[in-house]
Amino acid sequence: MLQFGLMAPGDIAHGVAERARSRRLGLGLTQAELSERASVNIWSLRRFEATGKIAFDALIRIAFVLDAVEEFGGLFPEPEFRSPDELISRPKRQRGRRKGRAAD
């Protein structure tokens, strides 16, 4: 498992692109085939594999075709609490007042 905390955002994106390319090749798909199946412009796919840059919705469509969409479930997990006290004492988010409105 990679230590993403030690990597720059561009390095993470490039690593994702490399793994996607490797998975594509492992499935015996050409860029054109993946592009067509994922409904992603071929030039967007080529740029993604070269640089890691792609629109998020296009990345999800590629992940579906490469049977890797499950991994998106690990993004932004709910925080884990070690005790009920920790859960209760966490700060509550409050909405700010709109500018120009008088206090009630």
Whether 80 contacts 86, CB under 8 Å: no
Q: Is the pTM of this model over 0.75?
A: no
CATH number of the domain that residue 38 is part of: 1.10.260.40
Does residue 101 sit within a domain?
A: no
**Is position 42 within any domain?**
yes
| Model pLDDT, residue 82 | 73
Angle value at C-alpha 40, between 36 and 45, nearest 5 degrees: 100
Is 103's pLDDT higher than 80? no
Domain extent at residue 52: 7-75
Q: How confident is the model at residue 1 (pLDDT cuts 50, 70, 90)?
A: very low
| Residue 50 within a domain | yes
Amino acid at 94: Q
Handedness of CA 21, 23, 28, 31 (dihedral sign): negative
Instruction: Give the model confidence (pLDDT) of 63-102 as tens digits.
Output: 999 999 999 888 888 777 777 776 667 677 767 677 766 5
How do residues 2-55 score in pLDDT, each as one tens digit? 555 678 989 999 999 999 999 999 999 999 999 999 999 999 999 999 999 999
Q: Is residue 26 part of a domain?
A: yes
2 within domain boundaries: no
* Total number of domains constituting the chain: 1
Pairwise CA distance, residues 44 & 41, whole Å: 5
